[in-house]
Amino acid sequence: MLTKRIIPCLDVLNGRVVKGKQFANLQDVSDPASMGKFYSQEGADELVFYDITASSEERLISLEFVTQVAKEVHIPFCVGGGVNTIEDFTRILRIGADKISVNSGAVKNPELITQASRKFGSQCVVLSIDALRNEAGSWNVYINGGRVKTNIDAIEWAKRGVLLGAGEIVINSIDADGMKQGYDIELLKAITEAVNVPVIASGGAGTLEHFEEAILKANVDGILAASIFHYKELSIRTLKQYLSQKGIAIRQ
């Protein structure tokens, strides 16, 4: 079994880390730089920073706050929000990011994935997908921070994204987001079985067992979580110890 990654996520709004449920009812948590420093010291394998209104407000990510976090972390740092051009990639990488997450910008211009992977390498290009189950039982891709529905099938979009050059997929279940009832295993399995690049699960962590289930049942390469870490309901050290005891390969 390849080593699995534990990845805290900072959803940032107006320079503050926030968290809600199903992309609504956002509550203030803390400032991103201090949280990034804490997670870097706590044993997180990576850190993800999303400027959650950049796309809907049609602006580039807040570079000031990315810079502040980059100075505090000593682990791989992935940044997303309002990334629409190669120039956006360049600016964000120059201030300290290791990977760039594209979501709405890639849906609107799929060629961005190919351009970025050719210039910076596929390992730098993360395709983030916000998916919501529809009445037919499949999943639609949503953009602009989960605000706008598209007619794109999430599984097909993941496959196309990899063909275009994405080196990793982050799949977030809007149904499960912030609910702490567990990850959408069916969605995760559909993605991991469809692509041959690392898949990161997002949305739904509430217990130690939820992390274990996503790894063992859906074969994801990493687990992304927010509120369960932010509110100190579970520490990364405790989680890693638990998963290790279950025979799951974890970076110590």
pLDDT tens readout for residues 234-243? 999 999 999 9
Full DSSP string of 19-64: EEETTEEEEEEE-HHHHHHHHHHHT-S-EEEEETTTTTTT----HH
Token digits of residue 10:
């900072």
Catalytic pick from 45, 51, 88, 130? 130
Q: Is the pLDDT of residue 27 over 70?
A: yes
Extents of the domains making up the chain? 5-245
pLDDT band for position 1 (cuts 50, 70, 90): low
Which ranges of the chain does DSSP label H, i.e. alpha helix?
Answer: 32-42, 63-70, 86-94, 104-108, 111-120, 154-164, 185-192, 208-218, 227-230, 236-245
**CA–centroid distance for 100 within its chain:** 10
Residue 221 a catalytic site member: no
| Of the candidates 215, 201, 210, the residue with the CA atom closest to the CA atom of residue 48 | 201
Residue 51 a catalytic site member: no
133 strand-pairing partners: 139
- Is the distance from CB of 202 to CB of 230 less than 8 angstroms? no
Query: What pLDDT is stored for residue 25 in this prediction?
Result: 64
Q: Would the CA dihedral through 114, 111, 188, 230 be positive or negative?
A: positive
In CATH, the number for domain 5-245 is: 3.20.20.70
Query: What pLDDT is stored for residue 240 in this prediction?
Result: 98
Distance set, CA 186 to CA 15, 41, 140, 204 (Å): 34, 33, 14, 13
Catalytic pick from 11, 45, 88, 184? 11
| Of the candidates 183, 47, 161, 44, the residue with the CA atom closest to the CA atom of residue 106 | 161
d(CA 27, CA 29): 6
Query: What pLDDT is stored for residue 24 in this prediction?
Result: 62
pLDDT tens readout for residues 67-119? 999 999 999 999 999 999 999 999 999 999 999 999 999 999 999 999 999 99
Summarize the confidence of residues 197-210 as an average pLDDT. 97
